[in-house]
Amino acid sequence: MTKIRKIVLTEDEMPKQWYNLAADIHCPPFMGPDGPVPPEGWEKVFPMNLVEQEYSTQRWIDIPDGIRELLTRWRPAPMHRAYALEEALGTPARIYYKNESLSPAGSHKPNTAVAQAWYNKEFGTKKLTTETGAGQWGSALSFACSLVGIEAKVFMVRISFDQKPFRKLMMQTWGGTCIASPSMETQAGRDILAKFPDTPGSLGIAISEAIEAAVSDPSGETKYSLGSVLNHVMLHQSIIGLEAKKQLEKVGEKTPDVIIGCAGGGSNFAGLAFPFVSDKMHGAEIDIIPVEPYSCPTLTQAPYVYDHGDTAKMTPLLAMHSLGHAFVPPPIHAGGLRYHGMAPLVSKAVQEGLMTPRAIHQLECYEAGLLFAKTEGIIPAPETTHAIAAAIQEAKKAKEEGKEKVILFNFSGHGLMDLVGYDKYLSGQLTDYNLPQSEIEKNLEVLKGYPQP
Amino acid sequence: MTKIRKIVLTEDEMPKQWYNLAADIHCPPFMGPDGPVPPEGWEKVFPMNLVEQEYSTQRWIDIPDGIRELLTRWRPAPMHRAYALEEALGTPARIYYKNESLSPAGSHKPNTAVAQAWYNKEFGTKKLTTETGAGQWGSALSFACSLVGIEAKVFMVRISFDQKPFRKLMMQTWGGTCIASPSMETQAGRDILAKFPDTPGSLGIAISEAIEAAVSDPSGETKYSLGSVLNHVMLHQSIIGLEAKKQLEKVGEKTPDVIIGCAGGGSNFAGLAFPFVSDKMHGAEIDIIPVEPYSCPTLTQAPYVYDHGDTAKMTPLLAMHSLGHAFVPPPIHAGGLRYHGMAPLVSKAVQEGLMTPRAIHQLECYEAGLLFAKTEGIIPAPETTHAIAAAIQEAKKAKEEGKEKVILFNFSGHGLMDLVGYDKYLSGQLTDYNLPQSEIEKNLEVLKGYPQP
């Protein structure tokens, strides 16, 4: 057998440093009511060792041994050559994917969860709070906290809490506490419940509760944790792309022609793509494609503005592509891609012409996901199907052009906890959503009077 | 970092042959009404290339390249050193586990599913039928059939079909057909439904339907597939132990002192243990421990007899440990271990004193599973927790004895589709079942007049 399908690395070959794109791309600062927010402005929310990373412009940052040991629970992650998918498409392209679905929580999220849990433990944090929508991030953080021995408290959007009981059970199994948001445990939750006792909740409310629960602990030993968007999260995810480079080298491939990842907050895409952005800035010809749902077109249709990271405006202003903090996307099944904003570093890279975002409708994505499951064998998460759909578009284009392109995408997570979406697709119950331009404009009105990045 | 947590193999290092324990241990023949069943007796049920393997006593059998390519979708599987679990136990033992949970279906089952699907495809089979209880095997076969391009039809026990809709959705996503058993599609199903329209079904009925659906296809292009018990299944699983040997060698370990796997039909246990049984026959000192639930004590309390493999007596007689084909175990959550019989090769090895079976109650198993999830990070399937519980018992014993033992167990599958059991355990709703000796004796009465092996 000469074909290599699964390219593995030993632990010794796992990267010893993270790559920080903030060394090469400069984002406008966080803005508060009194101007740029200094690092100290975050001290009640995050531990200062992570805040330091958030502001760092150092290109390479050492991965502490303690975090390397946590990562080796499942890393290095294999890269696969998608021979069966290539054959089904009859494409001359060589398609590779980085498999982030093999972590115990089933996605790339634990890459930053274990790093954040470890830095918090070092700092003296006893408890981490966070919010979760569909449940991926809450599971990953519960997993990470159990490994380092600190508490995890997850505010899960009420409607998901009721509809997705298995995610809650995952968190409990790892010893995390998961409560439905809005809850009676915070002022923010009680205020909402007083007004709307039957509210299904929202990510915005859950963020407000999680931050309040952290900053209101008088001991100072409770901190808050965020699973995407911020620079330190992108940093921790860069291990994906750094491993991928070594793996491509092992099979004799040079720089890929196309790099693809789905983008909600941006972290799995950034993790794969950022180490290659630096190559592109030095002249390499690479199409770098963040893929988003047509129904939440942050990079493809929204402006680059200053906006809050959350609906409830608890965070400072971030310079990013945003549909407006009050935007509520249609109920597509890729819950992890239903975010109004985008990581500032991804947004800035798009502004600088280093990336070419693409939006794809959900029916095309499910079709791509099914083809992938039946050829390569792994059932993808609904979010991941967006990356697969774009990879298939590119492979078909390579066929039309008769070019032997190298396409690399991030397989961010498996879909074993999301099979209801496939069932709905197969039984014809899903639909695509076209967002009218007028609705986008209406949602952007909340940004009037905000500073410009 | 000097500790190696995850020991990987490259594709080149994946074994090129399976090991066949039937070369070293001789089982009594299958018995039919007219005496021993010759290979031709199976031709309507299985393709002859697999029947040949079933009867083979050749020690090493080449793995065809086509099957190796299918296996490399996820194999070689990593072996992990359980440093965190060791530390939590304060044991001087070195604990290793082979991680079979990383296959797309989440368990070891695809090792034989892809082999069986490939041999059937080679033979000209167009459709495979099978039964499934909790759904692991039905998912694995649907996965395998989708990769080789043949149809899969799975008869799923009615009560599981209704209670575990996600397993059915997995099969559908891979293109398999999953129907509730008893069904109107077979005579066996119609007969049962006429008498008991509200029956919850049983594995025995589902086997009857699956075999009938195969043998009654006049084209001869439909065959039946079994996921455990038979010799060719054990053969395909031997890749687990063969990989494990190479991995132990890589970290400088000699033969382990203790080898552990959970045992229902016996295939994941056999897969890890059989390649080491041969070492034991040549003088190596190894405790080889199949672990079963206290509530279904096939190896620890049932006699070695001739019995049918299924409740409905469709199969010939197999020489094995059996609680009697009509035995219905208490409703424990490890559905994959609720089987009245045991693989003939495992049974015979126990008879010959090569293995020392052990039974463990489910509460101890869930406790072990939770400790594992919180230390090593992966949530185990309820079946797998039995192996973990035994590994913990052995690690504690090594501590008492002050011995640096090497313990190796098989992590047969993850528990992401089985979280309800953890929820019930955590909320105090689970109980242990002590099976009275009188009930075991009563169930064995059906075997009166059967031949003796």
ipTM, two decimals: 0.95
**Which residue in A6, A174, A379 is closest to B72 by CB distance?**
A6
Distance, in Å, from the CA atom of B7 to the CA atom of B247, rounded to the nearest integer, reads 6
| B33 Cα to chain A: minimum distance (Å) | 42
Range from A253-267, B244-258, B330-344 carrying the lowest mean pLDDT: B330-344
- pLDDT digit string, tens, across residues B217-230: 999 999 999 999 99
Q: Do A84 and B419 touch (CB under 8 A)?
A: no
Rounded to 10°, the helix B165-173/A419-426 angle is: 60
**Which residue in A11, A80, A422 is closest to B4 by CB distance?**
A11
Compute CA A109 distance to the chain's CA centroid, rounded to the nearest angstrom: 7
- pLDDT digit string, tens, across residues B52-61: 999 999 999 9
pLDDT band at B1 (very low <50, low <70, confident <90, very high): very low
- pLDDT digit string, tens, across residues B365-417: 999 999 999 999 999 999 999 999 999 999 999 999 999 999 999 999 999 99
pLDDT band at A2 (very low <50, low <70, confident <90, very high): low
| A277 Cα to chain B: minimum distance (Å) | 29
The predicted model gives A172-176 an average pLDDT of 96
Closest by Cα among B69, B336, B417 to A415: B417
Please determine, for residue B118, whether its predicted confidence score (pLDDT) is greater than 70: yes
- pLDDT digit string, tens, across residues A321-369: 999 998 888 888 888 898 899 999 999 999 999 999 999 999 999 999 9
- pLDDT digit string, tens, across residues A283-302: 999 999 999 999 999 999 99
Distance, in Å, from the CA atom of B368 to the CA atom of B362, rounded to the nearest integer, reads 10
Q: What is the mean pLDDT of chain A?
A: 95
Distance, in Å, from the CA atom of B203 to the CA atom of B138, rounded to the nearest integer, reads 12
**Which residue in B74, B143, B169 is closest to A423 by CB distance?**
B169
Could you tell me the two tokens for A230?
């911020």
Could you tell me the two tokens for A269?
């895409």
Domain boundaries, chain A: 64-106+231-435
pTM: 0.96
Please determine, for residue B2, whether its predicted confidence score (pLDDT) is greater than 80: no
**Which residue in A3, A72, A416 is closest to B6 by CB distance?**
A72
CATH number of A64-106+231-435: 3.40.50.1100
Residue A405 pLDDT: 97
Please determine, for residue B21, whether its predicted confidence score (pLDDT) is greater than 70: yes
pLDDT band at B312 (very low <50, low <70, confident <90, very high): confident
Q: Enumerate the residues of chain A whose CB falls inside 8 A of the CB of residue B9.
A: 8
Residue A69's contacts (CB-CB under 8 Å, 6 or more residues apart) are: B1, B3, B5, B83
Identify the residue among A4, A5, A12 best suited for mutation to test binding to B, counting B beta carbons within 10 A and taking the highest. A5
Distance, in Å, from the CA atom of A120 to the CA atom of A221, rounded to the nearest integer, reads 9
Contact B269, B262 (CB under 8 A): yes
Q: Do A102 and B104 touch (CB under 8 A)?
A: no
Q: Enumerate the residues of chain B whose CB falls inside 8 A of the CB of residue A74.
A: 6, 377
**Which residue in B11, B173, B414 is closest to A419 by CB distance?**
B173
Distance, in Å, from the CA atom of A155 to the CA atom of A391, rounded to the nearest integer, reads 35
Distance, in Å, from the CA atom of A126 to the CA atom of A117, rounded to the nearest integer, reads 10
The predicted model gives B274-298 an average pLDDT of 96
- Paired residues of A17 in beta bridges: A62
Q: Enumerate the residues of chain B whose CB falls inside 8 A of the CB of residue A72.
A: 1, 5-6
The predicted model gives A150-159 an average pLDDT of 94
Q: A–B: how many Cβ contacts below 8 A? A: 125
- Nearest residue on chain B to A78, judged by CA atoms? B74
Please determine, for residue A1, whether its predicted confidence score (pLDDT) is greater than 60: no
Q: CA B237, B136, A417, B75: dihedral to nearest 10 degrees? A: 10
Please determine, for residue B328, whether its predicted confidence score (pLDDT) is greater than 90: no
Q: Do A416 and B175 touch (CB under 8 A)?
A: no
- pLDDT digit string, tens, across residues A81-137: 999 999 999 999 999 999 999 999 999 999 999 999 999 999 999 999 999 988 999
The predicted model gives B28-49 an average pLDDT of 97
Residue B290 CA: distances (Å) to CA of A6, A308, B5, B128, B364: 32, 57, 25, 30, 16
Distance, in Å, from the CA atom of B379 to the CA atom of B369, rounded to the nearest integer, reads 7
Distance, in Å, from the CA atom of B328 to the CA atom of A223, rounded to the nearest integer, reads 51
